[in-house]
Amino acid sequence: MVGAGWSVWKFSRGVRQLELHRLILALIIFCVLSMAFLAYYVSNNPKIKEAPPLPFSDCDGGAMPPGESVGAVGEGPGVQRAPLFLPPRHGRPRQVKAVDNSRTEPVVLVFVESIYSQLGQEIVAILESSRFHYRTEIAPGKGDIPTLTERNRGRYTLIIYENLLKYVNLDAWNRDLVDKYCAEYGVGVIGFYKANENSLLSAQLKGFPLFLHSHLGLRDYRINPNAPLLFITKPNQVEQGPLPGDDWTIFQSNHSTYEPVLLASTKSSEALGHFGPGTSRAFHATVVQDLGLHDGIQRVLFGNNLNYWLHKLIFVDAIAYLTGKRLCLSLDRHILVDVDDIFVGKEGTRMKVSDVEALLNTQNKLRNLVPNFTFNLGFSGKFYHTGTDEEDRGDDTLLQHRNDFWWFPHMWSHMQPHLFHNVSVLAEQMRLNKAFAQEHGIPTDMGYAVAPHHSGVYPVHSQLYEAWKSVWGIRVTSTEEYPHLRPARYRRGFIHNRIQVLPRQTCGLFTHTIFYNEYPGGSKELDKSIRGGELFLTVLLNPISIFMTHLSNYGNNRLGLYTFESLVKFVQCWTNLKLQTLPPVRLAEKYFQIFPEERDPLWQNPCHDKRHKDIWSKEKTCDRLPKFLVIGPQKTGTTALHSFLSLHPAITSSFPSPTTFEEIQFFGGANYDNGIDWYMDFFPFPSNVSTDFMFEKSANYFDTEAAAKRAAALLPRAKILAVLINPSDRAYSWYQHQRAHQDPAALNNSFHAVVTADPSAARDLLTLQRRCLNPGTYATHLERWLLHYQPSQLHIVDGALLRSNPALVMDGIQRFLGVTPIFNYTQALMYDDSKGFWCQRLEGGRSKCLGKSKGRRYPEMSPESRAFLAEFYREHNLELLHLLNRLGQPLPSWLRQELQSTSWS
Packing angle between helix 863-887 and helix 893-904, nearest 10 degrees? 120
Cβ–Cβ under 8 Å, residues 99 and 298: yes
Report the 10 Å Cβ neighbour count for 713: 17
Contact 139, 334 (CB under 8 A): no
Q: Who's near 9: CB < 8 A, 6+ residues apart?
A: none
Q: Which residues pair with 503 in a beta bridge?
A: 479
- Residue of 635, 709, 719, 852 marked active site: 635
- 744-747-748-754 Cα dihedral, nearest 10 degrees: 100
* Closest by Cα among 256, 264, 192 to 222: 264
Contact 786, 713 (CB under 8 A): no
Q: Which residue type does 594 have? A: I
The candidate with the shortest Cα–Cα distance to 605, out of 696, 717, 684, 681, is 717
Known catalytic residue at 610: no
How far is Cα 143 from Cα 308, in angstroms, rounded to an integer?
33
d(CA 549, CA 563) in angstroms, rounded, equals 11
Residue pair 295/184 in contact by the 8 Å Cβ criterion: no
Which 3 state secondary structure label does DSSP give 433? Answer: helix
User: For residue 478, what are the β-bridge partners?
Assistant: 502
Q: Is the peptide bond before 459 cis (omega within 30 degrees of 0)?
A: yes
Residue (of 625, 603, 622, 602) closest to 613 by Cα position? 622
Question: What's the Rg (C-alpha) of the chain?
Answer: 36
Nearest Cα to Cα of residue 722 among 903, 900, 883: 883
Q: How far is CA 146 from CA 102, 150, 177, 188, 251, in A?
A: 20, 11, 11, 17, 30
- Cβ contacts of residue 245 below 8 Å, gap of 6+? 217, 304
Other CB atoms within 10 Å distance of the CB of residue 595: 15
Rounded to whole angstroms, how far apart are CA atoms 506 and 334? 15
Nearest to 256 by CA among 211, 301, 209: 209
Residue 262 has phi, psi (to 5 degrees) of -115, 140
| Amino acid at residue number 114 | S
What pairs with residue 192 in β-bridges?
A: 302
Instruction: Please return the burial class of 293, using the count of CB atoms within 10 Å of its CB with bins 0-12, 13-18 and 19+.
Output: middle
- ∠600-604-605 over CA atoms, to 5°? 155
Question: Taking Cα atoms as reference points, which of 216, 171, 163, 170 lies closest to residue 190?
Answer: 163
Q: What is the dihedral of CA 141, 142, 146, 149, to 10 degrees?
A: 120
What are the backbone angles phi and psi of residue 264, rounded to the nearest 5°?
A: -150, 165
Helix (H, G, I), strand (E, B) or coil at 451: coil
Q: What is the dihedral of CA 783, 784, 788, 790, to 10 degrees?
A: -20
Task: List, in sequence order, every beta strand (DSSP E) within 395-551.
Answer: 406-409, 476-479, 494-496, 499-506, 544-550
Q: Which residues contact 187 (CB under 8 A, 6 or more apart)?
A: 101, 104, 154, 156, 157, 158, 159, 181, 297, 322
Residues tagged active-site: 635
